[in-house]
Structure 1
Amino acid sequence: MQYINAFVVGGIICALSQILIDKTKLTPARILTAYVVLGVILTAIGMYKPLVDFAGAGATVPLLGFGYTLAEGVKTAVAESGLLGAFTGGAKAAAGGISAAVFFGLLTALLFRPADKS
């Protein structure tokens, strides 16, 4: 059942993104940024954790989940280090994902020779 929950929630998040792309004049970059900020806000007010508990990777893998990871990292670091944790917690919590994105982006660029579409 956990797989079905993850599939449904992740699918709904992706479908909402596609609707925003198709029906509004928002650029994909603005939508992605809005999703990260929304993940932080929903985590701050306590509404995202129940969704993560219900859907698992369906809620943590999309960009809303990145915002969730940043907010949880900041919350943990502030509890441990005080105000300094507000500046370091998000980066520390998301370091693995950021490192993987940079590594695989570099690997892809080396293997496939990126070029402009013009």
Structure 2
Amino acid sequence: MDYRTPEGASLQSPSGRKYDGVVHCTVGVSWSFFQPLLSDAGRVIDITPNLSAILTSALHRVTFSKKRLVPLLLSPNKADLEFLVGLLKEGKLKTVIDSKFPLSDAGKANT
């Protein structure tokens, strides 16, 4: 989603469902932006963590918060990626596709 557009900024799921997991891959967007979109035990995996994200994550742990920000502090390696592929093959990790766009409308897909 492009957070700079009204649609992206509202982070509304087209299906209306709450997310169990969000991969956060941009800077300048805080945890509070995602929190309302998460299911009760939802997680935001931040692949661009900063000091604020690390402190927020620590606070979630000590307060036993069910919704959590998880900063990804390691660079993925081949073994990690193979592990994720294995989870996908076993049906333990599923992706949710809220919307589909024909190639001719690819520009609309980022909003």
TM-score (norm 2): 0.30
Quick one: higher RCO (CA 8 Å, sep 6+), 1 or 2?
2
Where is the helix percentage greater, Structure 1 or Structure 2? 1
TM-score (norm 1): 0.29
Larger Rg: 1
Where is the strand percentage greater, Structure 1 or Structure 2? 2
